[in-house]
Amino acid sequence: MAQRSTVYKAELGVADMDRGHYADYALTIARHPSETEERMMVRLAAFALHAHEALAFGRGLSSEDEADLWQKDLTGVIELWIDVGLPDERRVRKACGRARRVVVLAYGGQKADLWWAQNADALARCANLAVVAMPPQASAELAALAQRSMALSCTVQDGHVWIGSDAGGASFELRRLKDAAA
């Protein structure tokens, strides 16, 4: 019998001073059996960094045709496609053809650097793609915050990110590897 996803609940308060976005979100996150808590928490961080009322978690690992997170307009057009980790270059190019804007939030330290070195040339042509890397200690600190029921807050100011709870926090800056064209 196949294992089922583990359900996590998060109350997330976002104060993004860089975007002027302040809101609270009640989130339900399904962690795929093959997904680590670290990856799930990086997905949650990606939500916090791009928070919007229309942003939603996709099926991610269980579906190749869906983003980890995506934002669609009222007509179903994909405004924003977000993948976390080290996605296949063909998947990223396909996403760039389907969505107005694509963001890859890479994590994993040296593995992320190697992934980018191998894919940078092929992805350079994708004008609507932005690639950022999370420091390895930040993803580990985020993983330590994972609980089945969480109350988290996220503050973003001048590119500096803090995500935390009563149990601790993670403070980091994302490293920009590629910016999307304006």
CA distances from 108 to 34, 38, 64, 97, 134 (A): 17, 10, 21, 26, 8
CA distances from 31 to 11, 39, 124 (A): 16, 9, 31
- On average, the pLDDT of the chain sits at 93
Q: What is the pLDDT of residue 2?
A: 59
Q: What is the pLDDT of residue 34?
A: 86
CATH class for the domain made up of 6-178 = alpha beta
- Residues in CB range of 5: below 8 A, 6 or more apart: 30, 31, 32, 33, 62
Backbone angles phi, psi at 74, to 5 degrees: -65, -20
Q: Over range 66-84, report the average pLDDT.
A: 95
> In the predicted model, is pLDDT for residue 152 greater than 60?
yes
Q: What is the pLDDT of residues 1-38, one digit of tens each?
A: 557 889 999 999 999 999 999 999 999 999 988 899 99
pLDDT band of residue 182 (cuts 50, 70, 90) is low
> In the predicted model, is pLDDT for residue 167 greater than 80?
yes
Tokens encoding 147: 């609980």
Q: What pairs with residue 6 in β-bridges? A: 31
Q: What is the pLDDT of residue 149?
A: 96
Q: What is the pLDDT of residue 10?
A: 96
> In the predicted model, is pLDDT for residue 101 greater than 90?
yes
For the chain, the domains span 6-178
Q: What is the pLDDT of residue 61?
A: 59
How far is it, in rounded angstroms, from Cα 21 to Cα 132?
20
pTM: 0.94
> In the predicted model, is pLDDT for residue 143 greater than 80?
yes
CA distances from 168 to 35, 50, 138 (A): 22, 22, 12
How far is it, in rounded angstroms, from Cα 87 to Cα 36?
16
CA angle 63, 39, 48 (to 5 degrees): 95
Q: Over range 43-56, report the average pLDDT.
A: 97
Characterize the bridge pairing of strands 69-72 and 55-57.
Answer: antiparallel
> In the predicted model, is pLDDT for residue 60 greater than 70?
no
pLDDT band of residue 62 (cuts 50, 70, 90) is low
